[in-house]
Amino acid sequence: MEVYLDNAATTPMRKEVFEEMEKYFFQDYGNASSLHLFGQKAFEEKENAREKIAKLLGVKSKEIYFTSGGTESDNLALKGIIQKSNKKKVIVSAIEHPAVLRTAEFLAKQGKKLSVIPVNSEGIIDLNKLKKEIDSDTALVSVMHANNEIGVIQPVKEIAELCMEKNVLFHSDTVQTIGKIKINLKETGIDLASISAHKFNGPKGIGAIYIKEGTPIEPLIHGGGQENKLRSGTENIPGIIGLSKALELSLKNIEEEQKRQEELRNELIKFVLEIPKTRINGTYEKGKRLSNNVNASFYGIEGEALIAFLNEEGVFASTGSACSSKSLKASHVLLALGLSHIWAHGSLRLTFGRQTTKKEINYVKEKLPGIVEKLRKMSSIK
Amino acid sequence: MYSDKVMNEFKKPKNMGKIENADGIGTVGNPVCGDMLKVYIKVKDNKITDVKVETFGCVSAIATSSKATEMVKGKTIEEALELSKDEVAKELGGLPPIKMHCSVLAIDGIRKSIEDYKKKNKKQ
Ligand SMILES: Cc1ncc(COP(=O)(O)O)c(C=O)c1O
Ligand code: FES
């Protein structure tokens, strides 16, 4: 059996999405900037897609800009805003994705000011600290909507209100929520939001950013002036079509799908907690966590070893443990929750998708306890 | 990322566990990644007759624990002290550069267990 439970990393593309994209490779392959019929067709399809996406997110077409994905959108938001502003400070949460954290650190190195706001043990940002940190020199606050490791959802509406009061811009990395939760961006009050298609069964290498009308921002990529001069480069039409189709499909029966995954998640969380010396990382209070995320830690075992044994059994998961990735530091997210290094190293992230079945979760339940026991037997930490 | 040899060693690690009444015990930790390893040895006539290891660590730490202990079993104390991380890595078909420190952990654990044995033996 092969069970893919790493949908926070990426998702399989839907057949319907591919079918929708196909003709833009072979037939309608025009450059949207060309003046002839082929170009016009491409231009129209691109604008139709933009309109569809905008509608689905409750915003205006001209507030959506296509990019190469979440990372670029995050970079554009932070660098683009700070460059255009006469204020110097950027505020981010401690659990941001590297696409935001590293960008913010880069800006700090360039002479800007950076403030990092902690989260509590449940993974929720400290709003009081945030409030205190926003001063007259603050240009931008960037707090992600849902975290990619623990799936905890931040109170973005309250953050947006706070930012509005203090007259600072608010960017939210919504890469893990758009396509998974129904969101009306206008109503949330976010000024900039990052979108990535491959997280909701769309193609890789395409994304978008919502930028509220009138927000002063400098481009990241200069050139031919595409995307209303904000993002140059020949538009990725098949990708754009794929993004809009994937978003449309994923929002179609989203409540039902969310409920289905939530049931699976709660069941798995309950099961995992029955294994001794185990914890769930981040709150799982209703409504405060993505319905597709389980992040557990097993005391005394190391994440990479756990992943490797699961891999042998055909279960594909991920870990926040340092020893598994290219860096050796334990997950900054788990450490921010206050976990000790031992707990942080023993983490396992299982993230579901539309294709995930109850049978697959049962298979995981069958395999997981034995692997944990085997590794604990070997371990020097009891 | 890992060679087949590393993966095979990891899947069926040898010498895992502890020895009651060990003649020497070496505990080492890796501050970089918070990993920990405990080596137990039995020594007779200056030879390591048995060795066991408990490892909290990654795939590479487990594989090198297994391989390194295998390599010193039956060796004299002096021979065991000469074993280097490179020899262990070579025997495993190489380790990714970022994972070389995991093999140091195993080597240090063995050396510490020998030190412990020597210390205990002096007293008697
Ligand atoms: C929260 C978050 N932000 C940004 C990204 C980066 O998105 P992309 O892979 O489209 O560059 C990811 C995914 O890796 C993510 O989970
Ligand atoms: S023991 Fe830390 S990476 Fe191997």
Q: What is the ipTM of this complex?
A: 0.92
Ligand 1 centroid–CA A206 distance in Å is 11
Residues of A in contact with B62 (CB under 8 A): 305, 378
Ligand 1 atom at shortest distance from the alpha carbon of A71 = 11
A5 min Cα distance to partner chain B (Å): 20
pLDDT exceeding 70 applies to what percent of chain B? 95
Distance CA A197, CA A11 (A): 9
Write down the mean pLDDT value for chain B: 93
Provide the pLDDT for residue B31: 61
Ligand 2 atom at shortest distance from the alpha carbon of B105 = 1
Q: With contact defined as beta carbons under 8 Å apart, do A297 and A331 qualify?
A: no
For residue B54, give the nearest of A305, A345, A380 by CB distance. Answer: A380
Ligand nearest the Cα of residue B108 is: 2
Contact A321 B32 (CB under 8 A): no
Provide the pLDDT for residue A156: 98
Ligand 2 centroid–CA A97 distance in Å is 23
Asked whether residue B30 carries a pLDDT value surpassing 80, the answer given is: no
**Taking the model in full, what pTM does it have?**
0.95
Distance CA A104, CA A67 (A): 19
The one catalytic residue in B41, B72, B102, B106 is B102
For the question of residue B102 being annotated catalytic, the response is yes
Q: Which of B9, B56, B112 to mutate to test the interface with A (most CBs of A within 10 A)?
A: B56
Tell me the three-class secondary structure of chain A, residue by residue. CCEECECCCCCCCCHHHHHHHHHHHHCCCCCCCCCCHHHHHHHHHHHHHHHHHHHHHCCCHHHEEEECCHHHHHHHHHHHHHHHCCCCEEEEECCCCHHHHHHHHHHHHCCCEEEEECECCCCCECHHHHHHHCCCCEEEEECCCECCCCCEECCHHHHHHHHHHHCCEEEEECCCCECCECCCHHHHCCCEEEEEHHHHCCCCCCEEEEECCCCCCCCCECCCCCCCCCECCCCCHHHHHHHHHHHHHHHHCHHHHHHHHHHHHHHHHHHHHCCCCEEECCCCCCCCECCCEEEEEECCCCHHHHHHHHHHCCEECECCCHHHCCCCCCCHHHHHCCCCHHHHHCEEEEECCCCCCHHHHHHHHHHHHHHHHHHHHHCCCC
Asked whether residue B29 carries a pLDDT value surpassing 90, the answer given is: no
For residue A308, give the nearest of B10, B16, B55 by CB distance. Answer: B10
Distance CA A305, CA A321 (A): 10
Distance CA A249, CA A14 (A): 9
Among candidate residues A95, A97, A148, A139, the one with its CA nearest the CA of residue A114: A139
Distance (Å) of CA A116 to CA A214, A234, A328, B45, B81: 27, 36, 22, 60, 47
Contacts of residue A15, defined as CB under 8 A and 6 or more positions apart, other chains included, come to none
Distance CA A212, CA A81 (A): 12
Provide the pLDDT for residue B99: 87
pLDDT averages per 10-residue partition of chain A, 382 residues = 96 98 96 96 97 98 98 98 98 97 98 98 98 98 98 98 97 98 97 98 98 98 98 98 98 96 98 98 97 97 94 94 70 95 93 98 98 96 88
Tokens at A116, concatenated: 């990092």
The pLDDT confidence band at residue B98, using thresholds 50, 70 and 90, is confident
CA A20 to chain centre: 24
Q: What is the mean pLDDT of residues B31-52?
A: 90
The number of beta carbons lying within 10 Å of the beta carbon of residue A88 is 14
The number of beta carbons lying within 10 Å of the beta carbon of residue B31 is 7
The pLDDT confidence band at residue B112, using thresholds 50, 70 and 90, is very high
When mean pLDDT is compared across A168-182, B8-22, B24-38, the lowest value belongs to: B24-38
Out of B38, B56, B99, B103, mutate this one to test ligand 2's pocket (max ligand atoms within 8 Å of CB): namely B99
Q: Is B55 on the interface with A (CB under 8 A)?
A: yes
Ligand nearest the Cα of residue A146 is: 1
Ligand 2 atom at shortest distance from the alpha carbon of B58 = 4
Residue B24, helix vs strand vs coil: strand
Contact A302 B57 (CB under 8 A): yes
Contacts of residue B17, defined as CB under 8 A and 6 or more positions apart, other chains included, come to A377, A378, B52, B53, B54
Provide the pLDDT for residue A325: 66
Provide the pLDDT for residue A87: 98
Provide the pLDDT for residue B123: 60
Residue A345, phi then psi, degrees to nearest 5: -75, -20
Provide the pLDDT for residue A324: 65
Q: List the residue whose alpha carbon is closest to atom 16 of ligand 1.
A: A148
Q: With contact defined as beta carbons under 8 Å apart, do A299 and A342 qualify?
A: yes
Asked whether residue B124 carries a pLDDT value surpassing 60, the answer given is: no
Q: Are strands A113-117 and A89-93 parallel, antiparallel or unpaired?
A: parallel
Provide the pLDDT for residue A322: 66
